[in-house]
Structure 1
Amino acid sequence: MRTIVKAIAAGALLLATASVVEAQDVPAVAPAATATPAGIPIDSPWRRAVYEQAHEHFRHPSWGWRHSERDYLFGMAVAQAEGLTVDADVMFAAAFLHDWGGIEPFAVTGVDHAVRSVQLAEPFLTEAGFPMEKFPAVRAAILGHMYDKEPEGSEALVLHDADALDFLGALGAARLLAATGDRPDYDQALGRIERFAVDIPPRLKTAAARRMAEPRVAVMTEFLAMVRRETPDGARP
């Protein structure tokens, strides 16, 4: 009888030890991010859904989620400098989803990427729990974000200027060069850098964005000059 009791006790001890080891072997679940890398709050389920969608699927060197994060930050900075009141929820949704329709495999041939982004964003935000009474402002911001559009509403205004600013400066040049894709050269990118430095600043709607654009345009102009200086006579960059 004593032998049986000892065996049972030993078995219980082995099971307890095994349970401890198994618990230690199970990796801890990483806590969900509470902010983007730049510190934009992810403080609601719908924001988490938007950010995770962007972070997972919008991976493009020119139009991906990093560009979206910068657009939000630039837009909020412009709003603050201009004394404009903007809705942070509208800005978050519009900034992170505005280029969705231009990224493969979501793009549709013949459909403007902003229009396509709205088509994708509305059902997604509804499902995510976004306060849809704010969606008209999100739609306006997405549709008006390109530098050649006429934005309607405070959020559309600052996102328009923010998106334009991200086409300028060293960041803008890097984005345009990255967008060459499988082209055999970067003539198109250099041409766009030169053209955007001239075409974009007059289209900025706010004084704050125009001030922010000045040093960026200078950087682009100097970059192109350096490319020409570094290219041997008769050769192409």
Structure 2
Amino acid sequence: MTNQGWRESVVAYIRVEAQPEDKFGHQPRLYVLATQVGQGMDFDDDILFAAAWMHDLGVFLGHRPKDPGQISQWDHVPYTLRRSRELLTEWGFPPEKLDGVEAAIRYHRATDKPTTVEGMLIRDADILEQLGAIGILRAAVKVGRDSRYPNFSSIVPVLSNAVNHLANETRLIGSKPMAESRARMLRSFLDAIYHEAGDMLH
């Protein structure tokens, strides 16, 4: 395997394991977003790529608990950290960069405070993925499939939180304009829901 062959292994593995299937697109989009946000910044692209592609492993079917009660309490990050280190090592990822991948994944959520540049990039990119048209699609696809979201009305608070709070949580200069643009689109969508359905959305 070439020095970069591990990337092919990562993509091939996530392509199979990202279930339900619609979850696959989040990984390549996240990596591209993170690189766009990071333009002009000094970051390690190997760490960024591995973290972006592996960060949600523990939320995929077959990797998370099946029981709805357990899912509601499931913290996928510890599992993702452990399996990512095992798999990346198996695929020939540079061992000296494994701690960097772990740091980026550990603190990738909006409520976290990343300790590395790669972590900051992944975190801001992950917030961007919850805004705009992509944020709408990612929320809507859960309706009726995720026990937490039985109907359309149940995802409105998720989208409202994204536009009213998450959009202001990005920290890097490169992500601010993107967050503002996506937030405007999402706010327009929520306004349209209210005008078209009022309290009859269900």
Instruction: Give the structure-1-normalised TM-score.
Output: 0.76
Instruction: Deviation per CA, 1:113-138: give whole Å up to 9, x if none.
Output: 12211111111111111101101110
Instruction: State the partner residue of 1:71.
Output: 30
Matched, 1:159 2:122: yes
2:158 to 170, 173, 192: 192
Cα distance in structure 2, aligned partners of 1:51 and 1:58:
10
Q: Which amino acid aligns with 1:204?
A: T
Q: Secondary structure at the match of 1:208?
A: coil
| Pairing 1:55–2:15 present | yes
Cα distance, 1:189 vs structure 2: 1.1
- CA 99–171 in structure 1, closer or farther in 2 if over 3 Å, else same: same
The answer on whether the counterparts of 1:61 and 1:178 sit within 8 Å (CA) in structure 2 is no
1:69 Cα offset (Å):
0.4
Q: Which has the larger radius of gyration?
A: 1
Distance 1:91 1:188, change over 3 A: same
Structure 1 residues 127, 173: CA separation in 2 closer, same or farther (over 3 Å shift)? same
Structure 1 CA distance, aligned partners of 2:191 and 2:170? Answer: 24
Q: Secondary structure at the match of 2:175?
A: helix
| Residues 235 and 114 (structure 1), Cα distance of their counterparts in 2 relative to 1, 3 Å cut | same
| TM-aligned CA distance change 1:71 to 1:147, over 3 Å | same
Q: Cα–Cα, structure 1 residues 234 and 227, in superposed 2: closer, same or farther, change >3 Å?
A: closer
Amino-acid identity (%): 28
Deviation at 1:61, TM superposition (A): 5.7
Is 1:204 the counterpart of 2:167? The answer is: no
Distance 2:92 2:199 in 1: 59
Output aligned runs, 1:117-196, within 5 Å: 117-180=80-143, 181-182=145-146, 183-196=149-162
Per-residue CA shift, 1:5-58, capped at 9, x if unaligned? xxxxxxxxxxxxxxxxxxxxxxxxxxxxxxxxxxxxx97221111110001111
Count matched residues.
192
What are the superposed Cα offsets for residues 40-98 of structure 1, whole Å, 9 maximum, x if unpaired? xx972211111100011113366x22101011000000110xx2111111111111110
Residue 46 (structure 1) aligns with: 6
Q: TM-score, structure 2 length as denominator?
A: 0.88
Distance 1:177-1:53 versus aligned 2 partners, 3 A rule:
same
SS of equivalent to 1:164: helix
Moved more, 140-149 or 104-113: 104-113
Q: How far is 1:139 from its partner?
A: 0.3
Indicate if the aligned counterparts of 1:65 and 1:96 stay in contact, CA closer than 8 A: no
Two-structure CA RMSD over aligned residues (Å): 1.8
Distance in structure 1 (CA, Å) of the matches to 2:175 and 2:199:
38
Equivalent residues of 1:122, 1:135 under 8 A apart: yes
Is residue 2:201 matched to residue 1:236?
yes
| Structure with higher RCO (Cα < 8 A, 6+ apart) | 2
Partner amino acid for 1:44?
Answer: Q
Would you say the 8 A contact 1:61–1:179 is kept in 2?
no
Report the more deviating stretch, 149-158 or 176-185.
176-185
Report the 3-state secondary structure (helix = DSSP H, G, I; strand = E; otherwise coil) of the residue aligned with 1:194.
Answer: helix
Superposition deviation, residue 234 in structure 1:
5.4
